[in-house]
Chains A and B, each alone.
Chain A
Amino acid sequence: KQEVTQIPAALSVPEGENLVLNCSFTDSAIYNLQWFRQDPGKGLTSLLLIQSSQREQTSGRLNASLDKSSGRSTLYIAASQPGDSATYLCAVGLSTGSQGNLIFGKGTKLSVKP
């Protein structure tokens, strides 16, 4: 059974700092991995998707890496801003199509202080 763990559960950093959020999964047989952002009381916004054959994806100040063999992914946020404050969720996709449902971690709540 696939389990996804995110460490730390909460993180507080001063503005401008670079930071890394960690995600680990127990079964390396994944199809893809997605990082989401959730703001309080809001839905999820997809940040990055990494296919199982890829090692990393970049979007602006965000960089996500994937190491399938060790069951790990990291989300690197450069030059953090107060607007980055949110809960970041990691989710692994097990297959495609209607079996492509995601298994989520419990998230890391990030607070960036001005």
Chain B
Amino acid sequence: DTAVSQTPKYLVTQMGNDKSIKCEQNLGHDTMYWYKQDSKKFLKIMFSYNNKELIINETVPNRFSPKSPDKAHLNLHINSLELGDSAVYFCASSQDRETGGEETQYFGPGTRLLVL
């Protein structure tokens, strides 16, 4: 069973379009994250979210917005896509230690976004 899943796996789109990437975790975790891995393979946090708060990395453009319909999902919406948005986007989840978890982050397989 896949613990953290993302769809789609690949996404090719034109500049200016709006797109969404879905993330689901079946681990019962209470915190979810989005990371961006650039062409140099460097991973950087974009958002972290649980039912208490959303933490946004200040370097993330406001064209990016996370949406959580429920505890098991954290989708990433991107408006007005730009060439520089091309990257691999990873979703992750973890369980807080104060709620009995060990804080290990489990990652999805990634979504490879190419903006033309």
Contacts and interface: CB of A to CB of B under 8 A. Distances in A.
Given A49-B104, A98-B49, A43 B42 contact: no
B55 A43 contact: no
B60 to A, nearest CB: 12
Interface string A77-113: 0000000000101010100111111111011000000
Interface in B11-38: 31, 33, 35
Task: Classify chain B: how many residues form its interface, as a range.
Answer: 20 to 34
Given A32-B103, A43-B109, A106 B40 contact: yes
Chain A binding surface SS class: strand
Contacts of A42: 109-110
Interface in B92-116: 92, 94, 96-98, 102-110
B45 interface: yes
A27 to B, nearest CB: 16
A98 B53 contact: yes
A96 B98 contact: yes
Contacts, number: 73
Contact of B90 (A31, A43, A98, A99): A43
B54 interface: yes
Contacts of B55: 98-99, 101
B44 interface: yes
B90 to A, nearest CB: 6
A104 B98 contact: no
Interface of B: 31, 33, 35, 40-45, 48-50, 52-55, 57, 90, 92, 94, 96-98, 102-110
7 contacts: A87-B41, A91-B43, A96-B98, A98-B53, A100-B94, A100-B96, A100-B103
